[in-house]
Copies of this chain bind each other. A is one copy, B any other.
């Protein structure tokens, strides 16, 4: 690759966006600029990027002419916008088309799931993908499965509590559902390869560190920690009841972010463990390419290595 590709990144300070920014910078193949909404420009995390010398575009997403300016000359537009602002992305599309952006990476970065009807989060992403296809903008959808960082169980000793967003001590169903998992830190490394790859244009791709069931995760963590875990068994009926409760709560107040988060969590569990969507087989059925097959030399972080780091006190609590 002779010239560096120019990337405009929205959502650079979120968990996924930070990983993407790191991955792009690490690869050395990109010139990255950052798009933020005016409400975010004063945030310390954005200021920090500014201090690193990154160009920051602070633009109201309703200001199409400013968006076109920011996108002019951009090769790749990447959106890692938050889960409550997904539909805002449609405001970017006309500008991306006018500015002739060569590839758009909408905010996917989630588990593999059916396009409609299983997860509200995925349903909203589908609306964005359809709007992209309506305009004919070149795109790549990149999903990542679930993160290692929110998939490891709590230990009786309390040794890994510091790195957990929420305690985790459950096994769903019989614990055998296979799940695509990626270390959050590997997302950006995968993205840096995928967005330069002609084979992934107008395609869906999933990244993967490992495919593991909950039983396998518990087995590995017991083995590494030497501690005995006693998971609580959650039945499929319990999961379905959680989804129903979350839906009822959201129906009362459809824009409440906490209630949306509630339904996201319940539907993730349903999709992952009852439907078993987040698996290589279903990804293949849906037409996804596998990033591991595309890049056989890529050495992702293993779950075992990840958990050993956390146990050694070198983990980090996400969203903190």
Binding site for B on A (CB under 8 A): 114-118, 127, 130-131, 133-134, 136, 138, 202-203, 282, 285-287
Residue contact B203 to A287, C-beta cutoff 8 Å: yes
Instruction: With both chains docked as a complex, state the minimum distance between the C-beta of A53 and any C-beta of chain B, in angstroms.
Output: 37
| Nearest chain B residue, comparing its CB with the CB of A130 | B116
Instruction: With both chains docked as a complex, state the minimum distance between the C-beta of A135 and any C-beta of chain B, in angstroms.
Output: 9
A275 to B117, CA, bound (A): 29
Query: CB within 8 A of A287: which of B127, B136, B202, B282?
Result: B202
| Nearest chain B residue, comparing its CB with the CB of A276 | B136
Given A202-B285, A285-B202, A116:B134 Cβ within 8 A: yes
| Nearest chain B residue, comparing its CB with the CB of A202 | B285
A282 to B114, CA, bound (A): 23
Instruction: With both chains docked as a complex, state the minimum distance between the C-beta of A235 and any C-beta of chain B, in angstroms.
Output: 22
21 A-B pairs whose Cβ atoms sit less than 8 Å apart in the complex: A114-B130, A114-B133, A114-B134, A114-B136, A115-B130, A115-B133, A116-B127, A116-B130, A117-B130, A117-B131, A117-B134, A118-B134, A133-B285, A133-B286, A136-B282, A136-B285, A202-B285, A202-B286, A202-B287, A203-B287, A287-B287
Instruction: With both chains docked as a complex, state the minimum distance between the C-beta of A317 and any C-beta of chain B, in angstroms.
Output: 35
Instruction: With both chains docked as a complex, state the minimum distance between the C-beta of A91 and any C-beta of chain B, in angstroms.
Output: 16
A76 to B130, CA, bound (A): 29
User: Known contacts A116-B134, A136-B285; can you find 4 more A-B pairs with CB under 8 A?
Assistant: A114-B133, A115-B133, A117-B130, A202-B285
Instruction: With both chains docked as a complex, state the minimum distance between the C-beta of A120 and any C-beta of chain B, in angstroms.
Output: 14
| Nearest chain B residue, comparing its CB with the CB of A131 | B117
Contacts of A118 in B (CB 8 A): 134
| Nearest chain B residue, comparing its CB with the CB of A117 | B134
| Nearest chain B residue, comparing its CB with the CB of A116 | B130
Q: Which are the 4 A-B pairs with shortest beta-carbon distances?
A: A116-B130, A114-B134, A117-B134, A114-B133
| Nearest chain B residue, comparing its CB with the CB of A115 | B130
Contacts of A117 in B (CB 8 A): 130-131, 134
Contacts of A203 in B (CB 8 A): 287
